[in-house]
Structure 1
Amino acid sequence: MLTYIPVLASVIAVIGILAFFKRNLEKIKDNPEMIEKYQTNLFIGSAISEAIPIVLIIIGFVNMEPVRSVDELVVPFTIIVGLIVFSIIYIFLQSRIDVDENIMPVVRGFGLISASLVMAIPIISIVMLLMIVP
């Protein structure tokens, strides 16, 4: 059961950050001159979205114990890697839909920042799972 704490942390963080990303990306597409404000909103939103996952990661590290078999980690690894792949695909697809050529560099930069933010907790979760391999 403890192997699913990092999975839960990753799911909460990814969904929250992607929601803030989508909302701010639509605002950037409408008004690209306000990019600084929307980036600030994204950073604040990602901090809010990562509050509970950070607590879950700490709980997971405190209660960490090796699993009996590596087979117990296959499903959590698959879910976390799937979340990473889904979030990257989602960010880059949203960054290409209905984007004017004039603001494409701004949107691309915003997407890259969002991609790095969204991968933080899942990478920590993968490291945590690797630490409990017998």
Structure 2
Amino acid sequence: MGVYIFVLAAAIAVFGILIFYKRNVELIKEDPSKTEEAHKNFFIGAAISESIPLILVIMGIVNLEQVPVEEIYFPAIIVVFLIVFSVFFIFLQRAVGTDEESKPRVTTFSLIAVAVTNAIPFIALLFLFMSTQA
């Protein structure tokens, strides 16, 4: 059960940040002059969305126990799926309904969102592999 706390943290972070990304990328697509406002809203939303996952990661680190490598296969697959899903979702949103005027701003915003969205899942993968028995 201890390894699934990292999976839960990754899932909450990814879905929470993607909600804020979707809302703010639409704002940029509608009016590219509101890019700064969208960035500000996104980073505030990302910080709020990562508060609970960070607490879960800390709880997972404190309660980290050694498990056989076979027990982290499924949790690791779920976390990798979350990473792939977030990248696919972000680039799909970037491509759909973007006009030529807002395309550079949406692309920049999307690349920032990929980095922010995948921070907690990569941390989760790291601690999943650290919990394996040697």
Q: Distance in 2 between matches of 1:115 and 1:25?
A: 13
Query: Segments of 4+ in structure 1 off by > 3 A?
Result: none
Structure 2 counterpart of 1:48, which letter? I
1:102 aligns with 101
Taking the aligned partners of 1:75 and 1:42, their CA distance within structure 2 comes to 31
Please state how far the C-alpha of 1:88 moved relative to its aligned partner: 0.1
Deviations 1:41-91 (A, max 9, x none): 000000000000000000000000100x21100000000000000000000
Question: Which amino acid in structure 2 is aligned with residue 94 of structure 1?
Answer: Q
Matching residue of 2:2: 2
Provide the C-alpha distance between the structure 2 equivalents of 1:71 and 1:130, rounded to a whole number of angstroms.
Answer: 11
SS at match of 1:100: coil
Deviations 1:77-120 (A, max 9, x none): 00000000000000001001010012111000000000000000
Question: What's the Cα RMSD here?
Answer: 0.5
Matched, 1:14 2:14: yes
Identical pairs, percent: 49
| In 1, Cα distance between equivalents of 2:25 and 2:102 | 11
Partner of 1:64: 64
Aligned 1:50-129 pairs, distance under 5 A: 50-67=50-67, 69-129=68-128
Q: Normalising to structure 1: TM-score of the pair?
A: 0.98
Residue 41 of structure 2 corresponds to which residue in structure 1? 41
Distance across 1 between alignment mates of 2:59 and 2:27: 36
Structure 1: runs of 5+ lacking an equivalent: none
TM-score in terms of structure 2 length: 0.98
**Structure 2 spans left out of the alignment, 5+ residues:** none
Kindly state the Cα deviation for residue 130 of structure 1 after the two structures are TM-superposed: 1.1
- 1:133 Cα shift? 1.0
Letter aligned with residue 20 of structure 1: F
